[in-house]
């Protein structure tokens, strides 16, 4: 369940101008600090940094440190599908 919610969060962060607190609630987190714990756990960075990285379309491997292998960007690759 946490990975599914985090995957949804990645999609929302990449294409949203909304505040982090609003995105956190929309995705299903209890509050922004709940979201921040998952972001730090899965991406090893702060939520604001992740949002910036996603908006710049950095390669997924550089953002979350997973072995995607094909250099897909965050807009085309999803955690768990690689």
How confident is the model at residue 66, as a pLDDT? 47
Contact between 25 and 33 (Cβ < 8 Å) = no
pLDDT, tens only, 18-47? 999 999 999 999 999 999 999 999 988 999
How confident is the model at residue 68, as a pLDDT? 39
Q: Could you tell me the pTM of the whole model?
A: 0.68
Q: Is residue 72 scored above 60 in pLDDT?
A: no
> What is the pLDDT of the chain when averaged over all its residues?
78
Reported for 36-45, long-range contacts at CB under 8 A and 24+ positions apart, including other chains, are 38/2, 38/5, 38/6, 38/9, 39/6, 39/9, 42/3, 42/6, 42/79
Contact between 72 and 80 (Cβ < 8 Å) = no
How confident is the model at residue 33, as a pLDDT? 96
């Amino acid at each position: 369940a946490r990975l599914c919610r985090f995957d949804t969060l990645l999609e929302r962060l990449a294409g949203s101008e909304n505040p982090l607190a609003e995105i956190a609630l929309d995705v299903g987190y209890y509050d922004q600090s709940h979201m921040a714990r998952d972001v730090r756990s899965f991406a090893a960075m702060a939520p604001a940094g992740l949002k910036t990285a996603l908006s710049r379309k950095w390669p997924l491997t550089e953002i979350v440190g997973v072995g995607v292998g094909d250099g897909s960007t965050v807009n085309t690759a999803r955690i768990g599908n690689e």
